[in-house]
Amino acid sequence: MDVASPEAGIIEKFVASEGGIVTPGVKVAIISKSAAQSKTHTQSSEDTSQKHSTKPPSTKENKVEAKPPKVESSTTHESKLTSSSEPQLPPKERERRVPMPRLRKRIANRLKDSQNTFAMLITFNEVDMTNLMKLLSDYKDQFVEKHGVKLGLMSCFVKAAVSALQNQPIVNAVIDGDDIIYREYIDISVAVGTSKGLVVPVIRDIDAMNFADIEKGINNLAKKATEGAQSINNMAGGTFTISNGGVYGSLISTPIINSPQSSILGMHSIVQRLVVVNGSVLARPMMYLALMYDHRLIDGREAVLFLRRIKDVVEDPRRLLLDI
């Protein structure tokens, strides 16, 4: 961010280093008012001294400079010998080295810590999106007219995840030392990709929200993430994460658990595929789902039943209304 200077002048010295952490009120640079005048005076003095200097360079110095380096031939010979045995790599001039941004460092550290801590296992399933897409198409206009926000896939999957977490509370739990902490609340982190990196803001107490509240919450978080206006509090905590790689065209992936949570749901792109429906082969809009979970806490049975619940609710949204 830009820091306004309290006075005009020339930066004499940077106190804070690039990429360092500073707090409000800390001095970041030293500004000199007289530095510009001093610099101009010094430059004029150097130009004057160069004009009055008439001492010619010595002949000995000329001879030394004219001599070719003795090691030139051996160096050339050595490079010829090694060129045949060493791989030919592109020159360094064709590479660009930049410091890693702090956000990327944080993402890298968290993901590596997650990989080192959890016993990660993954289960897959596929879901027929026909009924849900028809529901969205039939009621999209009325939904916008009443609530002022579009009805999208994410809120439907969030609702399905809430139902699955309530059916399998162990997926909403977490290991803390030798204890298991069962959370009696559901805070879902929604992965949002930005130009600076991936952030996962949290929608809290989402089990008490309706579809409109969820859509408004997701839109608000996505806007803040894109503008870089997310605070630490918005991204702290969370009991479960949903990542939608399908918006970028991902067919299937294996998401990494967002520590300290115990599981993450991966959504993917909707693709028309031939499937068997009641004995007939039909083209249906299908999506692969992936659930990555901590096998230290969650057994395969609970993980499969959790993902199966999401599949059942998405394929028949009436289950949410009847709670079956």
Q: What is the tens place of the pLDDT at every residue in 146-200?
A: 999 999 999 999 999 999 999 999 999 999 999 999 999 999 999 887 777 778 8
For 3-8, the CB contacts below 8 A with 24+ separation are 3/28, 5/31, 6/31, 7/31, 7/33, 8/33
Higher pLDDT among residues 28 and 293, named by residue: 293
Residue 275 reports pLDDT greater than 80 = yes
* Out of 71-80, 83-92, 263-272, least confident range: 71-80
**pTM for this entry:** 0.70
Which residues have a catalytic role annotated? Answer: 295, 299
Whether omega before 24 lies within 30 degrees of 0, making that bond cis, reads no
Instruction: Name the superfamily (CATH) of residues 103-322.
Output: Chloramphenicol acetyltransferase-like domain (3.30.559.10)
What b/e sequence results for 144-172 when a residue is b if at least 16 CB atoms lie within 10 Å of its CB, and e otherwise? eeeeebebbbbbbbbbbbbbbbeebebbb
Percent of the chain exceeding pLDDT 90 equals 51
Residue 74 reports pLDDT greater than 70 = no
pLDDT of 240 reads: 96
Q: Counting Cβ atoms within 10 Å, is residue 231 exposed (0-12), middle (13-18) or buried (19+)?
A: exposed
pLDDT of 35 reads: 57
d(CA 88, CA 157): 51
Single-letter residue type at 78 = E
* DSSP at 90: P
Closest CA to 186 of 201, 171, 197, 176: 171
pLDDT of 160 reads: 96
Percent of the chain exceeding pLDDT 70 equals 84
Single-letter residue type at 1 = M
Q: Which of the listed ranges 7-11, 39-43, 306-310 does the model predict with the highest average pLDDT? A: 306-310
Q: Can you tell me whether residue 51 is helix, strand or coil?
A: helix
User: CB-based contacts of 264: which residues, under 8 Å, 6+ apart?
Assistant: 240, 241, 242, 243, 255, 256, 257, 258, 291, 292, 293
Residue 262 reports pLDDT greater than 90 = yes
Single-letter residue type at 228 = G
Higher pLDDT among residues 324 and 160, named by residue: 160
d(CA 257, CA 212): 28
Q: How far is CA 202 from CA 40, 211, 213, 258, in A?
A: 56, 16, 14, 12
Could you tell me whether strands 240-244 and 197-199 are parallel, antiparallel, or unpaired per DSSP bridges?
A: unpaired
In the chain, where does the domain assigned CATH 3.30.559.10 lie? Answer: 103-322
d(CA 143, CA 149): 7
* Out of 18-32, 67-81, 199-213, least confident range: 67-81
Bridge partners of 124?
290
Residue 121 reports pLDDT greater than 90 = yes
* Out of 171-185, 209-223, 284-298, least confident range: 209-223
